[in-house]
C-alpha cells in the first residue's frame, strides 16, 4: 500500500511539473541570461527550456533572452510578451506586446509575427530584425542586418525591407461596413456571433517609412526624454552598438 501511495505521489508530481512535455510540446529553445521574465508562471532562469506554445512575459525594467541554436536567438524588451512555437524547421515568435529583436540564420530560420503579419528573412539569409509596438495600433519593423520580407494585409501584400530601413504597419479593426440592402440583396447578418467575428478579425495596412535602423526604427518622439547611449543600445540591438 505504501508503494502505491509513493507511485501515485510521483505521478501527481510529474503531471504538475511538466505539462509541456506530457502534452507533446516541442522544445523551441532555452533561456539565456534574463531578468524579471517569467514563463508558465515561474521565473525565466538561464537554461530553462522554452516549449512550443509558451508565452514569455517580461516585466518593467526586465529583459528576456532565448537561444535557438545555430547562432539564432531572440531578445525581448521590458513590458513585452512573446509566444514561441516551432514546426519541423522554423521557430515562430508572435509578438503580443512590447518589442522583440531576433536573429534568423540559414541553419535555423526564425519568423516573427504579430496580428496577421509575418516578418522573415529575404532569401533565407542571416538577418537581424526588430519588431516593436509603437502603440496598440502601430508596429514598426526594422531590418537591422540583412533584408527582411514583411507580409501583411487582406491581400497578403509583401514588402522587402532593405538593411537599415523601417516599415510601419497599422493595425486596424476589420469591421467592414454592412452591405446596402436597397437593391434587394440578402439582409445583413446582425447576430452577435457575426459582430464578434468582425471585431476579432484584425488586419494590417502598410505604411513605408524612410529612415535608418538606428535613426528611424525605434526613435523617440520630440516630446519624450533623450536616451543615454546604453539605453539606445538596448532599444536597437542585443549585438553591437558602440558607446564612446
Q: What is the DSSP letter of 220?
A: P
Confidence of residue 20 (pLDDT cuts 50, 70, 90): very low
Residues 6+ apart with CB under 8 A from 189: none
For the record, the C-alpha cell of 106 comes out as 540559414
Which one is the CATH code of 24-177+186-236: 2.60.120.1440, 3.30.420.40, 3.40.190.10, 2.40.110.10? 2.60.120.1440
Residue 34 scores a pLDDT above 80: yes
Q: What percent of the chain has pLDDT over 90?
A: 51
Q: Which of 13-17, 81-85, 154-158 has the highest mean pLDDT?
A: 81-85
Confidence of residue 49 (pLDDT cuts 50, 70, 90): very high
For residue 175, CA distances in Å to 195, 197, 219 come to: 8, 9, 31
Residue 196 scores a pLDDT above 80: no
**Residue listed under C-alpha cell 533584408:** 147
Residue 118 scores a pLDDT above 80: yes
How far is residue 38's CA from residue 214's CA, in Å, rounded to a whole number? 29
Confidence of residue 129 (pLDDT cuts 50, 70, 90): very high
pLDDT for the residue numbered 203: 39
| pLDDT tens profile 203-218 | 344 444 433 333 333 3
pTM of this structure:
0.68
Q: Where are the domains of the chain?
A: 24-177+186-236
| pLDDT tens profile 103-116 | 999 999 999 999 88
Mean pLDDT of the region 51-65: 96
Residue 23 scores a pLDDT above 90: no
pLDDT for the residue numbered 2: 53
Mean pLDDT of the chain: 74
Q: What is the DSSP letter of 178?
A: P
CA-wise closest residue to 204 among 117, 90, 82? 117
Helix/strand/coil percent split, the chain, to 5: 20, 45, 35
Amino acid at each position: 500500500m505504501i508503494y502505491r501511495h509513493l507511485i501515485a505521489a510521483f505521478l501527481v508530481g510529474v503531471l504538475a511539473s511538466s505539462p509541456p512535455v506530457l502534452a507533446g510540446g516541442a522544445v523551441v529553445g532555452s533561456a539565456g541570461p534574463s531578468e524579471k521574465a517569467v514563463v508558465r508562471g515561474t521565473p525565466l532562469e538561464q537554461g530553462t527550456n522554452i516549449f512550443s506554445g509558451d508565452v514569455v512575459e517580461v516585466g518593467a525594467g526586465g529583459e528576456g533572452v532565448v537561444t535557438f541554436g545555430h547562432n539564432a536567438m531572440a531578445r525581448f524588451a521590458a513590458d513585452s510578451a512573446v509566444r514561441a512555437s516551432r514546426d519541423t524547421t522554423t521557430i515562430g515568435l508572435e509578438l503580443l506586446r512590447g518589442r522583440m529583436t531576433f536573429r534568423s540564420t540559414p541553419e535555423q530560420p526564425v519568423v516573427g509575427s504579430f496580428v496577421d503579419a509575418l516578418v522573415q528573412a529575404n532569401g533565407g539569409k542571416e538577418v537581424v530584425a526588430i519588431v516593436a509596438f509603437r502603440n496598440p495600433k502601430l508596429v514598426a519593423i526594422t531590418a537591422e542586418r540583412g533584408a527582411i520580407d514583411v507580409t501583411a494585409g487582406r491581400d497578403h501584400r509583401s514588402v522587402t525591407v532593405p538593411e537599415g530601413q523601417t516599415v510601419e504597419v497599422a493595425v486596424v479593426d476589420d469591421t467592414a461596413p454592412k452591405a446596402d440592402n436597397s437593391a434587394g440583396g440578402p439582409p445583413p447578418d446582425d447576430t452577435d456571433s457575426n459582430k464578434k467575428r468582425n471585431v476579432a478579425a484584425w488586419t494590417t495596412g502598410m505604411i513605408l517609412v524612410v529612415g535608418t535602423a538606428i535613426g528611424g526604427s525605434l526613435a523617440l518622439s520630440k516630446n519624450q526624454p533623450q536616451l543615454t547611449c546604453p539605453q539606445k543600445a538596448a532599444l536597437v540591438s542585443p549585438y553591437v552598438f558602440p558607446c564612446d
